[in-house]
Chain A
């Protein structure tokens, strides 16, 4: 036992010594992560494992950092732009974490899949009688779509975007900085093929799949390729007129004999995809068979696998492969927001009003409201007549519709709301679901929660008999952290920050004394030789 312990000790001790030895041959050794660290010698970079073995030889001008799939880029022959610290020129390749060269170092371009410029549309429903594009206001509408697409061929649904086209993600050439990570799953790459267009080299993109470590689209054919969708990659060879085909990863061939002229396409879903052309929107399968049903317009949801469709002035909802979820019978439907679909229908008096459906088309809220805003932090503002209220994602009223204005905090979930009970009246703080004022004293002005600090709202009160307003702050739980004694927002902000940093979370009488002392400028009028009375000291 003694011998074993001694051997183990010597083994560990010996290991420790040799680890330091191999490091000495490098000018720099990075920090180990997943048992890999970059090394630098004579201005060249590589990677080693924890035993000091070079898994990526130290011959590259720059290297990246391994991404989540264990892939890293290398660059040979590139130069660094001093100002932006990005690399230009040189050739790129890819290694995996075991040191296998999975993409040869022979490509001039490497990129990432990014959303195109067209991807931020907004909606605005002015009144229940129809849409009013001229009044489109990006603040009061449904959330923008983060993925997927919108189509609009006749302007019946006006969306505030730059044009009516919308493309799926496309490769963008990026400039790496040393040790940048590459995109996670699909890595576009390309070579200059010798041709030029407008004096720029024409490049043909390919795609490398970081999960399977294989080239799924070779880079010698297509001008543009888009994010893979299952076994298919949308590709195009003509950029002056948009048209699409699908490249099948499994067979390495194009699905269709001819490109499909189109304005936009959707991802493939259950073997189907949507096409927009001059005639409308329709589904097509991989055999080129077109569905009988077509639509005038389709709007994709940002969060659910559901498309809102529009035809002959009626709205409905379908799945991304064309199955009907909600029949085409509504005057208006909006893409789901917090798993609720806003709709328009007649109320008890026969007037058109907004309400909510769930994702299966069942009614959650009857048609009661003249207008509805997007949900933010699971709350949405609603209006009945000229009074505003607030509902949650169950359709329940957090605040009833009896306020002339509600200041809904957009970025924070809190039970405290600032409201104006009357037009141009003072503001009050209300607690959700209680219909009760939190403080009886009104506020003249407010800066809502999160505007300056997380979970804090700054409020002002009018001093009796004076024009001055003094400033304090309240937290999201309704506690007054600083009473309204500060002379300006800046002063209150600074005081809040200082108190938080020092861990003072509750206000006391001593704090009030300290505050007034700090504003007594005479405390700084003493000479170095004087003894200063306690009246001028806070402690």
Chain B
């Protein structure tokens, strides 16, 4: 009975403990990792190249780590050529899971040499301590590896985005010629970002194209996969394939057993095909309309996937608590009036990080940040806020560095 009361007291007291984190300029927290692929329909030749050129410029959303591989675009040349089975077949045939795992361990494809640098960095481990504990095979070291597996490697996702252009405008010969010019501009602009285009832009062609792009719409089907990683897979990898110096045998063994690693299909969503405003697009850069439409549609799909599949939900840090609670998420992440977010406190114990709910907040409807792509250029309301302000529903003792996640 005594012990029970003492435990209760400790728990109660800890609720009112206001620990303060010190922050550097950037807040580091654990993010899920993401690899994105575009499937481009070449039968939609008019815009396929344009979409492709702009897709490679779309950055990985800030709430994710960049886990992209070298192949980012695939093509199909028939309408309705993509279904879940075909997509899954690609993932398995090309051993995507093994490649994403290899990236986690920075595996040199030619020598098999691996390291834990990326895991240490994304896991926010103290590098020296991590090395020491893992090398000594201590209980804490084992726990850190397990923690890395559960919270990092297991939290790795693949998005396959199938893009359809929806515009119903007639495409004239003049526009076709303009597209050829624009293709050159967009393509070179995409591959050598910032370099001047090799051809002088056709101004008349661009004017016509701008008129066409004002009606530009896309429909994107996004399929979500999760990297499978558990204790068994981890043991196999560490035992049979992981080496910190070049090892021909382990290198070959990994190549032969790539198919042992799997991606799990989670689900898919389809964008609504809404019209994207042309406002904010410069007349001399009409192709940005393509990027704007694609990026917004992909962001919406990510937001919908997160709403539908809790496993894919991301955490975001609280950056301010006084005078109001703020977090750097906004409309791009689907923040809207009425949504609720749990406030999580991360604690490390014996090498493992756990997240405990300490409260609930909801966005202030007048202070939702519009952080969608080109919201500033559109002069959208709330585009200049920099963060969304939240009101407390329950809980207290919040401090910068805590995380919030939609519930």
Measuring CB to CB, which residues of chain A are less than 8 angstroms from any residue of chain B?
1-2, 5-6, 8-9, 12-13, 16, 19-20, 28-33, 38, 65, 178-179, 487-491, 494, 498, 501-504, 508-510, 513-514, 517-519, 521, 523-529, 531-532, 534, 536-539
Q: Which of B71, B121, B193 has the most CB of A within 10 A?
A: B71
Chain A neighbourhood of B194, CB < 8 A: 488-491
Is there contact, CB below 8 Å, between B99 and A537?
Answer: yes
The residue from A65, A178, A523 contacting B71, defined by CB atoms under 8 A apart: A523
- Which residue of B66, B81, B109, B121 is within 8 Å of A539 (Cβ)? B109
B residues less than 8 Å from A509 (CB atoms)? 108
Q: Nearest Cβ distance between residue B105 and chain A, in whole angstroms?
A: 9
What is the CA–CA distance of A489 and B193 in the complex, to the nearest angstrom? 10
A-B contact pairs, 13 of them (CB 8 A): A1-B2, A5-B5, A8-B9, A9-B12, A30-B323, A31-B392, A503-B122, A524-B74, A526-B74, A528-B87, A534-B109, A536-B70, A537-B69
Partner of B8, one of A9, A494, A510: A9
Q: Is the CB of B322 within 8 A of A30?
A: yes
B356 contacts the other chain (Cβ, under 8 Å)?
no
CA distance A44 to B81 in the complex (A): 60
Contacts of A536 in B (CB 8 A): 70-71
**A454 CB to nearest chain B CB (Å):** 10
Whether a CB of chain A sits under 8 angstroms from the CB of B90 is yes
Using A31-B322, A179-B324, A539-B103 as known contacts, say yes or no to A2 and B2 having CB atoms under 8 A apart.
Answer: yes
Q: Which residues of B contact A531 (CB under 8 A)?
A: 93-94
B9 lies within 8 A of A12 (CB): yes
Chain B residues near A487 (CB, 8 Å)? 192, 195
Contact A518 B70 (CB under 8 A): yes
Is B72's beta carbon under 8 Å from chain A? yes
Q: Is there an interface contact between A527 and B323, defined as CB atoms closer than 8 Å?
A: no
Roughly how many angstroms separate A236 CA and B365 CA in the complex, as a whole number? 48
Considering the complex, give the chain A residue whose CB is closest to the CB of B72. A524
User: Is the beta-carbon distance between A31 and B118 smaller than 8 angstroms?
Assistant: no
Contact A528 B86 (CB under 8 A): yes
Which residue of chain A has its CB nearest to the CB of B196? A488
Nearest to A35 among chain B residues (CB) is: B18
User: If the complex has contacts A2-B2, A534-B109, are A498 and B86 also in contact, measured as CB distance less than 8 A?
Assistant: no
A528 and chain B: residue at smallest CB distance: B74
| Interchain residue pairs A-B with the least CB separation, the first 8 | A503-B121, A490-B194, A179-B323, A539-B102, A524-B73, A538-B70, A5-B5, A31-B321
CB–CB B66/A38 < 8 A: no
Specify which of B1, B110, B324, B392 is in contact with A2 (CB 8 Å cutoff). Answer: B1
Q: Mark B358-382, 1 if CB is under 8 A from A, else 0.
A: 0000000000000000000000000
Please give the distance in Å from A500's CB to the nearest CB on chain B: 10
Q: How far is the CA of A29 from the CA of B361 in the complex (A)?
A: 11
The residue in chain A whose Cβ has the minimal distance to the Cβ of B111 is A510
Find B6's partner among A5, A38, A513 (CB 8 Å cutoff).
A5
Q: Is the CB of B9 within 8 A of A526?
A: no
Q: Does B23 contact A (CB under 8 A)?
A: no
Q: Which of B5, B66, B76, B118 contacts A527 (CB under 8 A)?
A: B76
Given contacts A16-B12, A521-B191, A531-B93, contact A6 B322 (CB under 8 A): no
Residues B60-85 near A (CB distance < 8 A): 65-66, 69-77, 81-82
Chain B residue at minimal CB-CB distance from A489: B194
A532–B102 touching, CB < 8 Å: no
B140 on the A face (CB < 8 A): no
- CA–CA, A8 and B10, complex, Å: 11
Using Cβ atoms and an 8 Å threshold, which residues of chain B touch A498? 66
| Residues from chain A with Cβ under 8 Å of B82 in the complex | 528
> Chain B residues with Cβ under 8 A from A514's Cβ?
70
With CB as the reference atom, state the residue of chain A lying closest to B71: A523
Return chain B residues, CB-CB under 8 Å to A20. Answer: 394
Question: With a CB–CB cut-off of 8 A, which chain A residues contact B69?
Answer: 537-539
Are A12 and B12 also in contact (CB < 8 A) when A528-B76, A531-B93 are? Answer: yes
Residues 108-125 of chain B, each 1 if its beta carbon lies under 8 Å from chain A, else 0: 111000000110111000
The residue on A at minimum CB distance from B7 is: A9
Closest to B103 in A: A539
Known contacts A502-B121, A527-B75, A539-B109; A28 and B391 CB within 8 A of each other = yes
Within 8 Å CB of A513, what residues of B?
A: 109-110
Distance in angstroms between the alpha carbons of A20 and B394 in the assembled complex: 8
Selected from B86, B120, B321, B392, the residue in CB contact (under 8 A) with A28 is B392
Minimum CB distance partner of A4 in chain B:
B5
In the assembled complex, the CB of A520 is this many whole angstroms from the nearest CB of chain B, namely 8
Q: Which residues of B contact A19 (CB under 8 A)?
A: 396
Q: What 1/0 mask marks residues of chain B from 31 to 70 whose CB sits below 8 Å from any chain A CB?
A: 0000000010000000000001000100000000110011
Closest B residue to A504 by CB, please name it: B117
With both chains docked as a complex, state the minimum distance between the C-beta of B122 and any C-beta of chain A, in angstroms: 7
Q: At the interface, yes or no: B325 with Cβ under 8 Å from chain A?
A: yes
Contact A494 B193 (CB under 8 A): yes
Checking B5, B9, B66 against A502 with a beta-carbon cut-off of 8 angstroms, the contacting residue is B66
Residue among B1, B56, B94, B122 with most chain A CB within 10 A: B94
* A-chain residues with CB within 8 Å of residue B75 when the two chains form the complex: 525-528
Q: How far is the CB of A53 from chain B (nearest CB, A)?
A: 16
Give the shortest distance, in Å, between B110 (CB) and chain A (any CB). Answer: 7
B398 within 8 A of A: yes
Question: Using Cβ atoms and an 8 Å threshold, which residues of chain A touch B93?
Answer: 531
Expressed in whole angstroms, the minimum distance between the Cβ of B37 and any Cβ of chain A is: 9
Find chain A residues with CB under 8 A from B66 CB.
Answer: 498, 501-502
Interface centre among A2, A5, A179, A518 (most CB of B within 10 A): A5
> With contacts A487-B192, A527-B77 known, what are 16 further pairs, Cβ within 8 A?
A5-B9, A12-B12, A30-B322, A30-B323, A30-B392, A32-B396, A491-B194, A494-B193, A509-B108, A514-B70, A518-B70, A528-B76, A528-B87, A537-B70, A537-B71, A539-B109
CB of B19 closer than 8 Å to a CB of A: no
Shortest CB–CB separation between residue A275 and chain B, in angstroms? 44
Alpha-carbon gap, A455 to B109, bound state (A): 32
Measured in the bound complex, the distance between the Cα atoms of B324 and A65 in whole Å is 10
Given contacts A13-B12, A179-B323, A491-B192, contact A503 B73 (CB under 8 A): no
User: What A residues does B17 contact at CB under 8 A?
Assistant: none
Q: Does B107 touch A at the CB level, under 8 Å?
A: yes
Chain B residue numbers with a CB within 8 Å of A521 are 191
CA distance A527 to B90 in the complex (A): 9
Max count, chain B CB within 10 A of own CB: residue among A13, A504, A529, A536: A529
B15 close to A (CB within 8 Å): yes
Tell me whether B13 is interfacial, beta carbon within 8 Å: yes
A33, chain B: closest CB distance, angstroms: 5
In the bound complex, do residue B74 and residue A9 qualify as a contact, i.e. CB atoms below 8 Å apart?
no
Q: Give the nearest-CB partner of A531 in chain B.
A: B93
List residues of chain A with CB within 8 A of the CB of B195.
487-488, 490
Q: Do the beta carbons of B396 and A31 come within 8 Å of each other?
A: yes
| Residue numbers in B under 8 Å from A494 (CB-CB) | 193
A9 and B398 in contact, given A31-B325, A528-B74, A528-B76 (Cβ under 8 angstroms): no
Most chain A CB within 10 A, of B70, B72, B82, B90, is at B70
In the complex, what's the smallest C-beta–C-beta distance from A27 to chain B, in angstroms? Answer: 8
Contacts of A503 in B (CB 8 A): 117-118, 120-122
A523-B70 in contact given A31-B322, A513-B110, A537-B109 (Cβ < 8 Å): yes
**A13 — nearest CB in chain B belongs to which residue?**
B12
Which residue of B6, B86, B322, B392 is within 8 Å of A65 (Cβ)?
B322
Contacts of A525 in B (CB 8 A): 75
Contact partners of B39 in chain A: CB under 8 A: 528
CA distance A33 to B94 in the complex (A): 55
User: CA A65 – CA B108 in complex, angstroms?
Assistant: 54
Expressed in whole angstroms, the Cα–Cα distance for A171 and B65 within the complex equals 48
Q: Which of A20, A513, A537 has the most CB of B within 10 A?
A: A537
CB distance from A122 to the nearest CB of B (A): 31
Q: Is the CB of B86 within 8 A of A529?
A: yes
Point out the residue from A16, A30, A489, A539 that lies within 8 Å of B99, measured CB to CB.
Answer: A539
In the complex, what's the smallest C-beta–C-beta distance from B20 to chain A, in angstroms? 11
Contacts of B122 in A (CB 8 A): 502-503
